[in-house]
């Protein structure tokens, strides 16, 4: 870690980089933002914005479940709960019972409320309120390593399964006729979203995590003409807003996560404006 | 050209032999407590266009889903080579009615095609060999010019031709088609039927088409199946259209 720190200090001659917490935060941003940029492409394609939002909210219940069962690592209970929750939501998404967004909304509210009810017992919710906004400046090297591993897993999954995922998203029956394992791939995808959301939620916060997943991909769609451009723009926009947001937050002394989202939102509007110029 | 491409080409130029038979024995689908279709027995031969007609809710799409393996069904589907009576692995192709994508989805025809037929990740790179393969497949339906267009910019007819190309790469033993209902004008429909008629002569495959437009059925079908929970009537278009059962269903 010290080597990386020294290297960062050498490459980046700015005064914010002299603090270790800023180095850690920058590293985390450099891992989280491309990850979200990649994942967001398919979340937006599948119109799953609502779905991923519900997953974010399940973090509260996940943590509450952990408290009840006395799990020391809150991250673990959150990941497990979110994975199960994701599989359940996915089943509902495909079952066609009731309107999708209504059912997802019910589950989302329920898991939020349930989490709040349990965590606020004895008036102790303030302990957990960091979960709502997140604090990327408090991330530790061990946690950065965790994120790095999940980034590697995602890249692996994307390389081997993206075509199938894309095929399923366009038409599941057609994918099935091409002998693609529709249910398996789809379920791995939602569990992956769940794991990533849970591992990053402490740093990004429940309130804004979905914006970070959706915005870069949504902005990229305004300019991209094919899947390669879609991914490239999405990752670039995501990383750019991450770095700029972090630096701005340092100099303006404001929360980092929300600042990143503000930058990403502005970028979205810019792409909306240039869209007619790019796409004729 | 690599060996795979040659093989495919060979298959494409292989006219129907009429000796492959797809046999559906007593197919039934029950969802919850509701029986959607029951006791469906069909023989489908290669080189023939079989058209399924029936009113809404007669179970036409359910039968297609059962053959695709998307809904659980009772009964068996077997694919036989009549020369030596051997049972073979049935490769099914499918042409859906519509796709799920937003108007602004950045998916090019190449991206879509490659996603269904290749493992080279489309977000990462494209290869010359794959482009060539896709161009060849698209050219079967005069769609090669569409390769770099975005899906949202295609007309209904163009999208249909792309879907046909995807379903026929590689050429399946049985092609299932949901007739396009929207976004295609009369010219487009003529072209669609012209294409499947040409396909029937060029390739060694059997086709099942779910149709909503009886005028085209009369003109192009070799065999018509009137479905109403089960097979009510089967035969040539003339036989079925003049039958008592046909008048009962369509009144």
Most confident among A107-111, A276-280, B87-91 (mean pLDDT) = A107-111
Residue A16 has pLDDT above 60, yes or no: yes
Interface contact B30, partner A, CB < 8 A: no
Q: How many domains does chain A have?
A: 2
| Same domain membership, residue A198 and residue A101 | yes
* Average pLDDT of chain B, as a whole number: 85
Interface contact A249, partner B, CB < 8 A: no
Ranking A68-72, A84-88, B137-141, B170-174 by mean pLDDT, the lowest is A68-72
Q: Are B107 and B150 contacting, i.e. CB atoms less than 8 angstroms apart?
A: yes
Residue A191 has pLDDT above 60, yes or no: yes
Q: Please name the member of B92, B104, B123 whose beta carbon is closest to the beta carbon of A162.
A: B123
Residue B1 has pLDDT above 80, yes or no: no
Q: Report chain B residues whose CB lies below 8 A from the CB of A178.
A: 116-117
Interface contact A94, partner B, CB < 8 A: no
Interface contact B90, partner A, CB < 8 A: no
Higher pLDDT, B47 or A241: A241
Q: Report chain B residues whose CB lies below 8 A from the CB of A166.
A: 107, 111-112, 115, 122
User: Which of A204, A229, A255 is the endpoint of a domain?
Assistant: A204
The dihedral built from the CA positions of residue B183, B187, B190 and B194, taken in this order, carries a sign that is: negative
Tally of CB atoms within 10 A around B23:
14
Query: For position B2, what pLDDT does the model report?
Result: 55
| Same domain membership, residue A195 and residue A149 | yes
Residue A81 has pLDDT above 70, yes or no: yes
Interface contact B47, partner A, CB < 8 A: no
Chain A residue nearest residue B174, CA to CA: A177
**A196-208: per-residue pLDDT in tens?**
999 998 888 888 9
Q: How confident is the model at residue B45 (pLDDT cuts 50, 70, 90)?
A: confident
Query: For position A41, what pLDDT does the model report?
Result: 95
Q: Are B239 and B223 contacting, i.e. CB atoms less than 8 angstroms apart?
A: no
**A131-184: per-residue pLDDT in tens?**
888 888 889 999 999 999 999 999 999 999 999 999 999 999 999 999 999 999
SS3 helix, strand, coil % of chain A, rounded to 5?
A: 85, 0, 15
CB–CB contact A226 B107 (8 Å): yes
Query: For position B90, what pLDDT does the model report?
Result: 83
Query: For position A96, what pLDDT does the model report?
Result: 67
Query: For position B3, what pLDDT does the model report?
Result: 52
Residue B14 has pLDDT above 90, yes or no: no
Interface contact A170, partner B, CB < 8 A: yes
CB–CB contact B163 A228 (8 Å): no
Residue of B106, B114, B127, B151 to mutate, testing the A interface (most A Cβ within 10 Å of its Cβ): B106
**A87-100: per-residue pLDDT in tens?**
998 888 877 666 67
| Same domain membership, residue A192 and residue A256 | no
**What is the residue range of A253's domain?**
1-8+16-45+208-280
Q: How confident is the model at residue B182 (pLDDT cuts 50, 70, 90)?
A: low
Residue B44 has pLDDT above 70, yes or no: yes
Interface contact B111, partner A, CB < 8 A: yes
Q: How many angstroms separate the CA atoms of A219 and A211, rounded? A: 12
Residues 150-169 of A with CB under 8 A from B: 158-160, 162-164, 166-167, 169
CB–CB contact B117 A178 (8 Å): yes
Q: Are A98 and A218 contacting, i.e. CB atoms less than 8 angstroms apart?
A: no
CB–CB contact A228 B122 (8 Å): yes
Q: Which fold has domain B3-250?
A: Rossmann fold (3.40.50)
User: Which of A154, A177, A204 is the endpoint of a domain?
Assistant: A204
Q: How confident is the model at residue A220 (pLDDT cuts 50, 70, 90)?
A: very high
Query: For position A43, what pLDDT does the model report?
Result: 94
Higher pLDDT, A232 or B216: A232
Residue B213 has pLDDT above 50, yes or no: yes
CB–CB contact B123 A176 (8 Å): no
Interface contact A234, partner B, CB < 8 A: no
Query: For position A97, what pLDDT does the model report?
Result: 66
Show Cβ contacts of residue A98 under 8 Å, excluding neighbours closer than 6 positions. none
Region B47-71: mean pLDDT is 88
Interface contact A227, partner B, CB < 8 A: yes
User: Which of A177, A204, A231 is the endpoint of a domain?
Assistant: A204
Annotate chain B with three-state secondary structure. CCHHHHHHHHHHCCCCCCCEEEEEEEEEEEECCEEEEEEEEEEEECCCEEEEECCCCCCHHHHHHHHHCCCCCEEEEEEEECCCCEEECCCEEEECCCCCCCCCCCCEHHHHHHHHHCCCCCCCCCCHHHHHHHHHHHHCCCCHHHCCCEHHHCCHHHHHHHHHHHHCCCCCCEEEEECCCCCCCHHHHHHHHHHHHHHHHHCCCEEEEECCCHHHHHHHCCEEEEEECEEEEEECHHHHHCCHHHHHHHC
**B94-142: per-residue pLDDT in tens?**
998 888 888 889 999 999 999 999 999 999 888 899 999 999 999 988 8
| Same domain membership, residue A251 and residue A173 | no
Region B63-81: mean pLDDT is 87
| Same domain membership, residue A77 and residue A22 | no
| Same domain membership, residue A84 and residue A37 | no
Residue A36 has pLDDT above 80, yes or no: yes
Higher pLDDT, B162 or B216: B162
What is the distance in angstroms between the Cα of A146 and the nearest Cα belonging to chain B?
A: 25
> What's the ipTM?
0.87
Residue-range domain boundaries for chain B:
3-250
Q: Report chain A residues whose CB lies below 8 A from the CB of B96.
A: 171, 173-174
Residue B67: half-sphere exposure toward Cβ, Cα within 13 Å: 30
| Same domain membership, residue A59 and residue A99 | yes
What whole-number percentage of chain B has pLDDT above 90? 32
| Same domain membership, residue A122 and residue A99 | yes
Distance of CA A136 to the CA centre of its chain: 14
Residue B58 has pLDDT above 90, yes or no: no
Q: Report chain B residues whose CB lies below 8 A from the CB of A96.
A: none
Residue B10 has pLDDT above 50, yes or no: no
Q: Report chain A residues whose CB lies below 8 A from the CB of B93.
A: 177
Q: Please name the member of B96, B114, B119 whose beta carbon is closest to the beta carbon of A171.
A: B96
């Amino acid at each position: 870690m010290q080597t990386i720190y020294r290297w960062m200090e050498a490459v980046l001659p700015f005064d914010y980089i002299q603090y270790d917490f800023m180095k850690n935060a920058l590293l985390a941003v450099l891992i989280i933002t491309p990850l979200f940029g990649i994942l967001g492409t398919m979340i937006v394609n599948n119109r799953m914005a609502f779905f991923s939002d519900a997953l974010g909210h399940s973090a509260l219940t996940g943590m509450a479940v952990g408290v009840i069962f006395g799990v020391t690592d809150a991250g673990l209970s959150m990941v497990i709960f979110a994975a199960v929750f994701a599989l359940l939501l996915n089943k509902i998404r495909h079952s066609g019972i009731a309107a999708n967004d209504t059912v997802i909304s019910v589950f989302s509210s329920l898991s939020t409320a349930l989490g709040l009810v349990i965590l606020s017992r004895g008036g102790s919710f303030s302990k957990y309120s960091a979960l709502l906004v997140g604090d990327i400046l408090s991330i530790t090297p061990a946690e950065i390593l965790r994120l790095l591993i999940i980034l590697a897993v995602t890249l692996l999954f994307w390389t081997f399964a993206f075509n199938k995922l894309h095929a399923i998203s366009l038409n599941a029956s057609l994918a099935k006729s091409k002998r693609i394992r529709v249910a398996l791939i789809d379920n791995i995808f939602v569990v992956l979203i769940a794991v990533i959301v849970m591992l990053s939620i402490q740093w990004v916060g429940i309130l804004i995590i979905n914006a970070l997943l959706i915005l870069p991909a949504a902005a990229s769609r305004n300019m991209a003409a094919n899947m390669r451009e879609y991914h490239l723009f999405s990752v670039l926009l995501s990383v750019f807003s991450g770095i700029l947001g972090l630096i701005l937050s340092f100099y303006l002394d404001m929360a980092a996560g929300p600042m990143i989202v503000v930058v990403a939102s502005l970028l979205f509007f810019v792409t909306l404006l240039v869209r007619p110029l790019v796409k004729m | 050209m690599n060996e795979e491409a040659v093989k495919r080409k060979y298959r494409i130029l292989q006219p129907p032999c009429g000796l492959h038979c797809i046999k559906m024995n007593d197919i039934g689908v029950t969802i919850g407590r509701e029986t959607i279709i029951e006791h469906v027995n069909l023989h489908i031969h290669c080189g023939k266009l079989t058209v399924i007609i029936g009113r809404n809710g007669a179970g036409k799409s359910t039968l297609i889903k059962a053959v695709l393996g998307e809904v659980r069904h009772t009964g068996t589907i077997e694919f036989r080579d009549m020369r030596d009576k051997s049972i073979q692995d049935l490769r099914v192709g499918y042409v859906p009615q519509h796709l799920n994508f937003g108007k602004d989805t950045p998916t090019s025809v190449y991206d879509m095609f490659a996603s269904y037929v290749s493992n080279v990740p489309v977000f990462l790179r494209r290869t010359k060999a794959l482009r060539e393969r896709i161009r060849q497949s698209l050219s079967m339906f005069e769609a090669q010019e569409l390769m770099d267009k975005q899906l949202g910019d295609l007309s209904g007819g163009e999208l249909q031709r792309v879907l046909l190309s995807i379903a026929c790469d590689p050429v399946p033993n049985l092609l299932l088609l949901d007739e396009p209902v929207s976004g295609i004008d009369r010219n487009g429909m003529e072209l669609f039927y012209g294409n499947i008629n040409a396909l029937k002569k060029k390739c060694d495959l059997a086709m099942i088409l779910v149709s909503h437009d009886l005028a085209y059925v009369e003109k192009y079908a070799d065999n018509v199946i009137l479905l109403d929970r089960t097979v009510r009537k089967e035969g040539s278009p003339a036989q079925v259209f003049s039958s008592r059962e046909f008048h009962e269903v369509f009144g």
